[in-house]
Amino acid sequence: MSGPLKVALLGCGTVGSAVLRLISEQAGDLTARIGRPVEVAGVAVRRPAHHPDVPAGLLTTDAAALVTRDDVDLVVEVIGGIEPARSLILAAFAAGKSVVSANKALLAEDGVALHAAAAKAGVDLYYEAAVAGAIPLLRPLRESLAGDQLRRVVGIVNGTTNYILSRMAETGAGFAEALAEATELGYAEADPTADVDGFDAASKAAILASLAFHTPVTAADVHREGISAVSSTDVARAAEIGCTVKLLAICERVGNGDDGSVAVRVHPAMIPTSHPLAAVGGAFNAVFVEAEAAGQLMFYGQGAGGEPTASAVLGDLVAVARNRITGAAGQGPTGYAALPVRSMADTPTRYHVSLDVADKPGVLATVAQEFAQHGVSISTVRQDGHGDAATLVIVTHSAPDAALSATIAALRDMPAVRDVTSVLRVEGLS
Amino acid sequence: MSGPLKVALLGCGTVGSAVLRLISEQAGDLTARIGRPVEVAGVAVRRPAHHPDVPAGLLTTDAAALVTRDDVDLVVEVIGGIEPARSLILAAFAAGKSVVSANKALLAEDGVALHAAAAKAGVDLYYEAAVAGAIPLLRPLRESLAGDQLRRVVGIVNGTTNYILSRMAETGAGFAEALAEATELGYAEADPTADVDGFDAASKAAILASLAFHTPVTAADVHREGISAVSSTDVARAAEIGCTVKLLAICERVGNGDDGSVAVRVHPAMIPTSHPLAAVGGAFNAVFVEAEAAGQLMFYGQGAGGEPTASAVLGDLVAVARNRITGAAGQGPTGYAALPVRSMADTPTRYHVSLDVADKPGVLATVAQEFAQHGVSISTVRQDGHGDAATLVIVTHSAPDAALSATIAALRDMPAVRDVTSVLRVEGLS
- Nearest chain A Cα distance for residue B318, angstroms: 7
Residues of B in contact with A285 (CB under 8 A): none
From A297, A336, A29, select the one nearest A154 (Cα to Cα).
Answer: A297
Average pLDDT over chain B, rounded to an integer: 93
What are the pLDDT tens digits along chain A (430 aa)? 478 999 999 999 999 999 999 999 999 889 988 889 999 999 999 999 999 999 999 999 999 999 999 999 999 999 999 999 999 999 999 999 999 999 999 999 999 999 999 999 999 999 999 998 889 999 899 888 888 999 999 999 999 999 999 999 999 999 999 999 999 998 899 999 999 999 999 999 999 999 999 999 999 999 999 999 999 999 999 999 999 999 999 999 998 766 789 999 999 999 999 899 998 988 899 999 999 999 999 999 998 889 999 999 999 999 999 888 887 766 655 677 889 999 999 999 999 999 999 988 889 999 999 999 999 999 999 998 888 889 999 999 999 999 999 999 999 999 999 999 999 999 998 7
With beta carbons less than 8 A apart as the criterion, state whether B420 and B353 touch: yes
Is the Cβ pair B140, A139 closer than 8 Å? yes
CB nearest B294 (choices: A276, A301, A326): A301
Neighbour count for residue B361 (Cβ, 10 Å): 7
Q: Which residues, listed in sequence order, are joined to residue B247 by a DSSP beta bridge?
A: B268
What does the pLDDT look like over A53-103, one tens digit per residue?
A: 999 999 999 999 999 999 999 999 999 999 999 999 999 999 999 999 999
Q: What is the mean pLDDT of residues B73-102?
A: 97
Q: What share of chain B has pLDDT > 70, as a percent?
A: 98
Determine the pLDDT at residue B147: 85
Q: Does residue B327 carry a pLDDT above 80?
A: no
Which of B311, B325, B331 would best serve as a mutation to test chain A binding (most A beta carbons within 10 A)? B311
Question: Using the beta-carbon criterion (under 8 Å), do B26 and A276 form an inter-chain contact?
Answer: no
Say if the Cβ atoms of A147 and B326 lie within 8 Å.
Answer: no
Per-residue pLDDT at B1: 47
Tell me whether residues A293 and B314 touch, CB distance under 8 A: yes
**Complex-level ipTM:** 0.90
* Neighbouring C-beta atoms of residue B187, cutoff 10 Å: 22
For A340-357, what is each residue's pLDDT tens digit? 999 999 999 999 999 999
Domains located in chain B, CATH noted? 5-133+306-326 (3.40.50.720), 138-302 (3.30.360.10), 344-426 (3.30.70.260)
In this complex, which of A139, A314, A332 lies closest to B147 when CB atoms are compared?
A314
Strands A5-10 and A74-77: parallel
Q: In this complex, which of B22, B294, B315 lies closest to A144 when CB atoms are compared? A: B315
Work out how many CB contacts closer than 8 A connect A with B: 205
Q: Are strands B243-254 and B150-156 parallel, antiparallel or unpaired?
A: antiparallel
DSSP state letter for A269: E
Cα–Cα distance, A280 to A428 (Å, whole number): 15
Contact B224, B198 (CB under 8 A): yes
Contact residues, chain A, for B22 at CB < 8 Å? 147-148, 293
Show residues of chain B in contact with A300, CB under 8 Å: 276, 297-300
Distance from the Cα of B307 to chain A's closest Cα (Å) equals 5
Contact check, Cβ <8 Å, A145/B311: yes
Catalytic positions of A, written as ranges: 204
Q: How far is A28 from chain B (nearest CA, A)?
A: 10
B144 with A147: Cβ contact below 8 A = no
Sort out which chain B residues have CB atoms less than 8 A from A145's CB and list them: 136, 311, 315
Chain A nearest-CA distance from B100, in A, is 13
Selected catalytic residue, list B6, B97, B104, B204: B204
CB of A271 closer than 8 Å to CB of A248: yes
Rounded distance, CA B312 to CA B102, Å?
9
Q: Are the CB atoms for B195 and B202 separated by under 8 Å?
A: no
Query: Among A367-376, B1-10, B275-284, which range has the highest average pLDDT?
Result: A367-376
CA B425 to chain centre: 18
* Confidence at residue B388, expressed as pLDDT on a 0 to 100 scale: 85
pLDDT per residue as tens digits for the range B190-227: 999 999 999 999 999 999 999 999 999 999 999 999 99
Cβ–Cβ gap A300/B298 under 8 Å: yes
Q: Which residues contact A323 (CB under 8 A, 6 or more apart)?
A: A98, A124, A329, A330, B328
3-state secondary structure of A230: coil
